Chain A
């Protein structure tokens, strides 16, 4: 028995943990931008952590249920409403057949993850139900959810306690300014010492060009390059390199003006230099940044990055513990 989509917000997509293993062919891993939020929402409704749910950006959908289910909304503070009555985020609540789930105005964050008991059961493509819209892969016909769609639900979720909730201390949102830790590397040597300092000293702002492929930032000083004769195969702009692979989280700065951090639906390669990568522990956080959010990049070394990854895993363990 499916869920009927009455309205879909501006960009609601089916996402799970993505499809790693095809990036070398140009197909990104994709999946939820804020993985911890989707994992948590799934745990709250008794699903496997990696079950497919909905990722809604800024505006929530309107969904009519045709069977009873448990629902949880994690990530952004996008207040859910059941037949118009408010419900809590980060908390499991029951929905009866015939009821309509809708959402109030976004309060904070950018992406809400809606998990439904049983998980969304569309056909996996290359091992994942994640929607990669630019590649027309996954989801429903490779696109975002639309009004009139029906979302099939799976079976086999565990029964869970109504009102199960995530402790406040384990709900991490972006600060103000948001801080993204960056490990310098890759083509770091291409910019001057002054530019290396400026990049971390300046406060940047999230631009409107921020989506699942990448997040653009603006407002910092222009980065100056170390002079060189451009190598064979590189474009004429000093920010050009001979084409290379782009890691997830890598920070490219075309013409030295506006840094772009590649995210889950990243392009796999190209001809812009990268000054480093946002560490894996902070990738979820990017998915919760609204346009115009002041943002600082914080320089870290490899040991710090690995310790942060460990801490992030411990936070997820603490959530599992709290919900078990």
Chain B
């Protein structure tokens, strides 16, 4: 399957976990379906879910947990 990049439409801070004391939404190697939540972006005092916009298997997270993210930046790669 062709490589697909899931991008954040929003600038802010990227998180891979729903809360600090909980496991990450997805690990590398997990299969995802379109609409699955992959991470959160915090901005303007709210958290926005970033969802997969295609089916696939996660091959990488080019951004670390709790790192700044720009609009349009890739947060996960699907293979």
Binding site for B on A (CB under 8 A): 10-11, 57-59, 105-107, 110, 208-211, 290-292
Q: Name the distance in Å between A219's Cβ and chain B's nearest Cβ.
A: 12
CA distance A106 to B68 in the complex (A): 15
Smallest Cβ-Cβ distance to A210: which chain B residue: B44
- If A105-B71, A107-B72 touch, whether A291 touches B45 (CB-CB below 8 Å) is no
Interface positions, chain B 23-77, Cβ under 8 Å from A, are 42-46, 48, 68, 70-72
Pair A105/B12 contact, Cβ less than 8 Å:
no
Is there an interface contact between B9 and A58, defined as CB atoms closer than 8 Å?
yes
Q: Is the CB of A291 within 8 A of B68?
A: yes
Chain A residues positioned under 8 Å from B46 (CB to CB)? 10
Do A10 and B10 form a contact, CB below 8 Å, given A106-B72, A107-B72, A290-B70? yes
Contacting residues, chain B, for A105 (C-beta < 8 A): 7, 9, 71-72
Contact A292 B68 (CB under 8 A): yes
Measuring CB to CB, which residues of chain B are less than 8 angstroms from any residue of chain A? 7, 9-13, 42-46, 48, 68, 70-72
Assess the A291–B13 pair: CB atoms within 8 A.
Answer: yes
Contacts of B10 in A (CB 8 A): 10, 58-59
User: Which of these, B9, B42, B68, contacts A59 with CB under 8 Å?
Assistant: B9
Chain A's nearest CB lies how many Å from the CB of B64?
14
Q: List 24 A-B contacts (CB under 8 A).
A: A10-B10, A10-B44, A10-B46, A10-B48, A11-B44, A58-B9, A59-B9, A59-B10, A105-B9, A105-B72, A106-B11, A106-B71, A106-B72, A107-B72, A110-B11, A208-B13, A208-B42, A208-B43, A208-B44, A209-B44, A211-B44, A291-B12, A291-B13, A292-B68
Contacts of B12 in A (CB 8 A): 208, 291
**CB-based contact A58/B68 at 8 Å:** no
Residue numbers in B under 8 Å from A291 (CB-CB): 11-13, 43, 68
| Contacting residues, chain B, for A11 (C-beta < 8 A) | 44
Q: Which residues of A contact B11 (CB under 8 A)?
A: 58, 106, 110, 290-292
B-chain residues with CB within 8 Å of residue A290 when the two chains form the complex: 11, 70-71
Instruction: Give A238 to B11 CA distance when docked, in angstroms.
Output: 34
CA distance A209 to B9 in the complex (A): 18
Chain B residues positioned under 8 Å from A292 (CB to CB): 11, 13, 68
State the Cβ distance, B42 to closest chain A Cβ, in Å.
5
Question: Which residues of chain B are within 8 angstroms of A209 by Cβ–Cβ distance?
Answer: 44-45
A-B pairs, 3 with minimum CB distance? A105-B72, A106-B71, A292-B68
Contact B45 A208 (CB under 8 A): yes
Chain A residue nearest in CB terms to B10: A58
Cα A209 to Cα B48 with chains together (Å): 14
Task: A105-B72, A106-B72, A211-B45 are known; give 6 further A-B pairs, CB within 8 A.
Answer: A58-B71, A105-B71, A106-B9, A110-B11, A209-B45, A290-B11
